[in-house]
């Protein structure tokens, strides 16, 4: 009985320490990747502001060719929603909405994940002129992990997990737009 109490107090102590540590661990994270595309800025911006075009370059859009997709509104305008539903756990179910467009410069999205977990996160894409026929595209994602789940940020690299997928998407975008 004494050993059982000792084990129980040890477990409770470890849980308490973890909860205290989680108070001091950051809750927000930001991931951004960029690429230079050999096309004029307006051409690149006109392509990326259409959410349906993500089907051609986003890694997540290609992970399940059988996922159901639904679109609401006018693509390339604020309020347009692209929703997906997949039986694959790593794709899940959710929606992406264009929240704000700064013409020729930036598109802000809201991602609403429903499965396999619920979360609402912000994402964006920006374009910047490098030269007359070169455009820098940045794709970013901002997220928040509530207490005490934020403790997981000590063990996992959101930059690597999400960043690699963003870079794959940007590489695909470059290939798509530079195709003759």
Whole-number pLDDT of residue 160: 77
Which fold is adopted by the domain 27-178? Alpha-D-Glucose-1,6-Bisphosphate; Chain A, domain 4 (3.30.530)
Q: What is the pLDDT of residue 125?
A: 98
Q: What is the pLDDT, as a whole number, of residue 19? A: 66
Residue 47: name the closest of 56, 36, 59 by CA.
Answer: 56
Rounded Cα distance between 94 and 51, Å, is: 14
Closest CA to 84 of 103, 62, 107: 62
Distances (CA, A) of 178 to 111, 137, 155, 169: 28, 13, 38, 14
10, burial (CB in 10 Å: exposed 0-12, middle 13-18, buried 19+): exposed
Q: In this predicted structure, what is the pLDDT of residue 9?
A: 77
Residue whose C-alpha is closest to residue 92's, from 113, 66, 112 = 113
**pLDDT in 10s for each residue of the chain, 180 residues:** 788 888 887 887 777 777 676 677 677 778 899 999 999 999 999 999 999 999 999 998 888 889 999 999 999 999 999 999 999 888 899 999 999 999 999 999 999 999 987 889 999 999 999 999 999 999 998 877 766 776 666 677 667 778 899 999 999 999 999 998
* For the chain, domain boundaries: 27-178
Calculate the alpha carbon distances from 77 to 51, 80, 98, 106 in Å: 9, 6, 7, 12
């Amino acid at each position: 009985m004494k050993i059982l109490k000792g084990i129980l107090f040890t477990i409770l102590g470890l849980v308490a320490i973890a909860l205290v540590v989680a108070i001091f661990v950051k809750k927000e994270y930001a991931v951004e990747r960029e690429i230079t595309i050999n096309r004029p800025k307006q051409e690149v911006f006109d392509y990326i502001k259409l959410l349906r075009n993500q089907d051609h370059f986003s890694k997540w859009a290609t992970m399940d060719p059988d996922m159901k997709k639904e679109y609401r509104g006018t693509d390339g305008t604020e309020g347009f929603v692209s929703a997906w539903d997949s039986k694959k756990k790593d794709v899940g179910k959710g929606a992406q909405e264009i929240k704000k467009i700064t013409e020729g410069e930036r598109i802000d999205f809201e991602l609403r994940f429903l499965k396999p977990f619920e979360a609402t996160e912000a994402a964006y894409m920006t374009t910047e002129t490098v030269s007359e026929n070169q455009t820098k595209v940045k794709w970013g994602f901002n997220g928040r992990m509530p207490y005490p789940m934020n403790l997981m940020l000590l063990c996992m690299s959101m930059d690597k997990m999400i960043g690699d997928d963003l870079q794959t998407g940007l590489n695909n975008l470059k290939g798509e737009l530079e195709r003759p």
